[in-house]
Amino acid sequence: MTETGIGVPGVSIRHRETGLVRRQLSPLETFAQSLAATGPSIAVAGTIPLAYLTAGNGAAFAFVIATVLLLLVGYSVAQFAARTSSTGSLYSYVALGLGRVWGFVAGWALVIGYTGIAAATITGSALYGGAFLDAFGLSFFTTSAGQVVLLTVFALIAVYVPVRGVRLSTRVAVALEAISITAIVVVLIATLVHNGFPLDVDQLRVSDTNVSSIGVAAVLAAAAFVGFESSASLGVEARSPYRAVPRAVLGTVLGAGLLYIVAAYIQVVGFKASGDALAQSSSPLGSLATDAGVGWLGPVVDLGIVLSALACTSASLNAASRIVFNLGREGVLPAAVGDAHRRFSTPHVAILVLAPIAYLVTVVLVLTGTDGLTIFGVTAAVATFGYLLAYLLILIAAPRFLRARGERSTGAVVSGVLGVVGIGYVLVRNVYPVPDPPYNVLPYVFLGLLAIGVVGYVALASAAPGRAHGLGALVEHADEQHTRATDETTSR
């Protein structure tokens, strides 16, 4: 094992085999990880109506604000991704900028976030899957028992694909998202054509819309982007990671943001023309398809959302398992979770530890009579706190990381200040005014889960400081010569 420093005090960089196949994923496959983890189809179907319920005609502007905010976060992530690569994703980055303790906080918060989103999206798969099958007379799958059956089937698929191989996982993800997004785009275009490509002046008049309501809706809109950074967890497996990962991160935010803004505008236009209430529709895209004369696309869209949610579940497990895997390799978590599958070269132990947690949470809630939308909402809300905390830390860490390297950090400072203000606002709006039950207790649920991990790390630092100090060690640094040599090798 060799060790080299990168000029960041207190951080040791070790280059060693991880058990994962190095430099195998193409830029498209790397991008697919971030795209699938974001789950844009689910956001178009579910988040936009919620944003409209809050901001009315200002829904599209809420997504503009959220896109800008997440671009600030993405810029900070890209500063690290262009210079370092690691399976540890954002926690390795934060450790470089703020130290090991904050690095662990970021990592643990992301594990909560990815696992929570896995629970939410597998619930979404079962919910939309049940509705899809019900349209064909199979109403059993809308019952609690039927939902458990679907949850079980989808969970097995969501585990099998990432265990079988990261290339399979990312390729399946991009294929499923392509199908789903294509169906959604066709419905949106049909809606515009049906309504004569109208210019909805009401949506363009910010002064006529309650600015505070747009700000609140931007909180919901920001949650539609979480997971965009997950390609950073493929830093070891991606080809030319110092170019592919930053492009995947920023490209996902830009692409998803454009889709959300356009989809919000068109959905509001479509429902105004039909006289229906967007926020009250059980299947907004299906209703738009029917109004636009392409009702046959409704079931296709619903099936596409099922597939998109399933891809998001697998992608979330992909990212979460690699963080846990890396912590196991670094000695912070038990060594067993740092094992890779001998045949498939995937972090199978970590996947098999995390997946049952997401599955059991959803099954228990279903069996206690909780409706699917509530399960989706509460698990996604807890997860969002994890993402936002990690994003907040990466915004603070980026300028310090660049200064430690002797590089200019003006851009990182500006994006960091603006991003911290924005993320801070989002966090505050999630807890005050106090939301209705059960959402009022979710911040404390998240803090409790976070505290479990932090207390464990502090105890480890006291009992076995050598292991605790290993956090953040498995990072590869891309100096100019290393980057050039790597890119030349992988492009052959």
Condensed to tens digits (0 to 9), the pLDDT of residues 455-474 reads 999 999 999 999 999 999 99
For residues 137 and 123, what is the distance between their CA atoms, to the nearest angstrom? Answer: 21
Per the domain annotation, does 191 fall within a domain? yes
Q: Helix, strand, or coil here: 17?
A: coil
Q: What is the pLDDT of residue 276?
A: 67
Per the domain annotation, does 348 fall within a domain? yes
In whole angstroms, how far apart are CA 193 and each of 198, 269, 276, 289? 9, 11, 18, 12
Q: What is the pLDDT of residue 272?
A: 84
Domain housing 256: 24-484
Q: What is the pLDDT of residue 25?
A: 94
Per the domain annotation, does 1 fall within a domain? no
Q: Which residues pair with 2 in a beta bridge?
A: 15
Per the domain annotation, does 337 fall within a domain? yes
**Predicted TM-score (pTM) of this structure:** 0.91
Per the domain annotation, does 6 fall within a domain? no
Per the domain annotation, does 287 fall within a domain? yes
CATH number at residue 464: 1.20.1740.10
Q: At 14, which helix (H) or strand (E)?
A: strand 13-15
**220-229: pLDDT as tens digits:** 899 999 999 9
For residues 44 and 54, what is the distance between their CA atoms, to the nearest angstrom? Answer: 15
Per the domain annotation, does 16 fall within a domain? no
Counting as low any pLDDT under 70, the low residues of the chain are: 1-18, 206-209, 275-276, 278-282, 479-492
Domain count of the chain?
A: 1
Per the domain annotation, does 13 fall within a domain? no
DSSP 230-275: GGGGGTTTBSSHHHHHHHHHHHHHHHHHHHHHHHHHHHHHHHHHHT
